Amino acid sequence: MATLKQGLDKRVSEYDYWAKRRQHGPEGHNNCSLWVLACMDERLPVDEALGIHVDSPAGGGDAHCFRNAGGIATDDAIRSAMLTCNFFGTKEIVILEHTQCGMLSANAHDLEKYFRDKGIDTDNIALDPTLPELKLEKGAFAKWIGMMDDVDEACIKTVETFKNHPLIPKDITISGWIWEVETRRLRAPIVGVGAEKRTLIPDVTSAPFGVKSNQPPRWK
């Protein structure tokens, strides 16, 4: 029968390893060897949606979690995925998007006009002042914003982007999922045939937000 001291010694040793994970390279991977790309929306509970512990309790340790507007592929998302998959022992990527997303709520050309009306030249702007080499081609600002026409389509395209990116190892398992804010239900993204089954509350496109024209063709 193990003594309390032995149990405490084991617990302290395991926590010490957990706290110093990054010193162990790929062998110090997170609990699930998982990287999650999720929308930044406050109504998207990553832990509840995926059944893991990332944010709660604090430092749950199940996954690396990257959030941005829309949960889409951006240069910094790819940078983070590249690091975790190649150097931190991650073996799986999950893309998590959701209904009622704010990235459906306006046309990106109108958002660009907002900045231009403020006197900002969107054709000549530093995306990252610490990395002036990172530039957009003229006329690409609206596309860079990453607004969506359809959440399910964007999720599928984001999965494809990571699957086909040369910095992401080919043996990484990659999947995409939609969290329905209205029903608190997780489902796979659906487009085309069967799309009518997506939800009884079909706010997965920009139409209910009053957006009448298509977004710049980021996913083409």
Print burial letters for 152-184: b (CB count within 10 Å at least 16), e (below 16): bbbbbbbbebbeeeeebeeebebebbbbbbeee
The answer to whether the annotation marks 32 as part of a ligand binding site is no
Round to whole Å and give the CA distance between 10 and 216: 55
**Mapping DSSP to helix (H, G, I), strand (E, B) and coil, where does residue 47 land?**
helix
Q: Which two tokens stand for residue 158?
A: 């984001």
Both tokens of 44, joined, read: 């998207």
Residue 64 annotated as binding site? no
Residue-wise DSSP of 133-195: T--PPTT-HHHHH---SBHHHHHHHHHHHHHT-TTS-TT-EEEEEEEETTTTEEE----STTG
Q: How far is CA 123 from the centre of its chain?
A: 26
Q: Is 9 annotated as a binding residue?
A: no
Q: Is 121 annotated in some ligand binding site?
A: no
Reduced 3-state DSSP string for 100-139? CCHHHCCCHHHHHHHHHHCCCCCCCCCCCCCCCCCCCCCC
Binding-site residues, in ranges, read 39, 41, 98, 101
Going by the annotation, the residues of the binding site for Zn(2+) are 39, 41, 98, 101
